[in-house]
Amino acid sequence: MTGVIPVLALLYILRVNMAFGVKALAEIGPVLFFAGLIMTLGSVIGYKIVRRIIARAFAYAAQAKRADELKSSFALSLAHDLKSPLLVIKANISNLKAGFLGALTPKQEETVNVCKDVADRMNTLIMGLIDTYKIEARMAEPAKDSFDLRDALKEQVRECAAIAGSKKISLSEDLGFQALPFEGDRAMILRALHNLLSNAIKYTPSGGKVSIKASCADSFGLIECRNTGPMIPTSKLEKIFDKFERLEGTEEGQGLGLAITKDIVEIHQGRIWATSGAWEPNCFIILLPLKEK
């Protein structure tokens, strides 16, 4: 493309000067020669520069991909290595609580309970990391179960009702009457929906509201989860689906729930995104392709 403009310019010069005869052409001969030389050199040099830039871009992309693969592999190996000693710690804590090593004083029992809570949190984090990287690396291929998305939502609403009740949060559902036939890994989808609902409840203050709605949008199942928690900044609407990303001022959780949900949705050829505004509830939206009838 870079050589077209000089060629057109040369043709224009020739056309204009043809009217002035051979003398005029002789006068502009050197100009045409140097213009052609510059055009040739420019095309060659430009081609080499562009080729070099493209080669470097591919090299950087390959390095970045390799670095990301090494990071994921390291994190997965580390999580596996931590899992075994943690199981030993949890087993010994259980033995202490059961009194197998003698009766505990109230103070000792309190300390053991604290250790158990910390070990449980560590176990949740490690298992979350393992699941995240397995799904991300497509090491966990989804099963091919056939089920109704509405049934999966009902199941998760029942499970999360107690959590919402303990925080005095109103949890409502609107699943309609139209079946949403889906083919995919039921266990994965249940986990994604559980993460979605529990996350909404976690960020909703006491006395707030969480609602879940399901409907059919063309050939997709549309799931909308709204909550009356603090407004999500625009800059965070995409980042909240990244690993270890949490809203400011929140210390609860490890920031893996929505990342796992996003990976599960995408592995099922779906999409997930969030919306938030000053005068409307936060809304997390999932689109999943329905099973063809």
Q: Look at the pTM and tell me if it is higher than 0.75.
A: no
**Domain's final residue, options 140, 171, 199:** 140
Q: Are residues 215 and 187 in the same domain?
A: yes
The Cα 196–Cα 260 span in angstroms is: 10
Q: Helix, strand or coil for residue 138?
A: coil
Buried b (16+ CB within 10 A) or exposed e, 106-115: eeeeeebeeb
Beta strands in 55-194 (DSSP E): 145-148, 170-174, 181-184
Structure tokens given for 113? 């309970």
Q: Which amino acid is at 271?
A: R
Q: Are residues 110 and 203 in the same domain?
A: no
* pLDDT (average), residues 158-183: 89
Summarize the chain as % helix, strand, coil (round to 5): 60, 15, 25
Q: Are 256 and 200 in contact (CB under 8 A)?
A: no
Q: Where are the alpha helices (DSSP H) in 167-237?
A: 186-202
Task: Give the H/E segment covering residue 275.
Answer: strand 271-277
Alpha carbon dihedral 112, 160, 254, 64, in 10-degree steps, equals 140
* pLDDT (average), residues 57-79: 66
Ranges 35-39, 195-199, 286-290: which has the least confidence: 35-39
* pLDDT (average), residues 83-96: 79
pLDDT tens, 11-25? 555 555 555 555 555
Q: Are residues 285 and 149 in the same domain?
A: yes
Highest mean pLDDT among 46-55, 119-128, 250-259: 119-128
Structural domains in the chain (count) = 2
pLDDT computed for residue 51 by the predictor: 67
The residue range of the domain holding 134 is 1-140
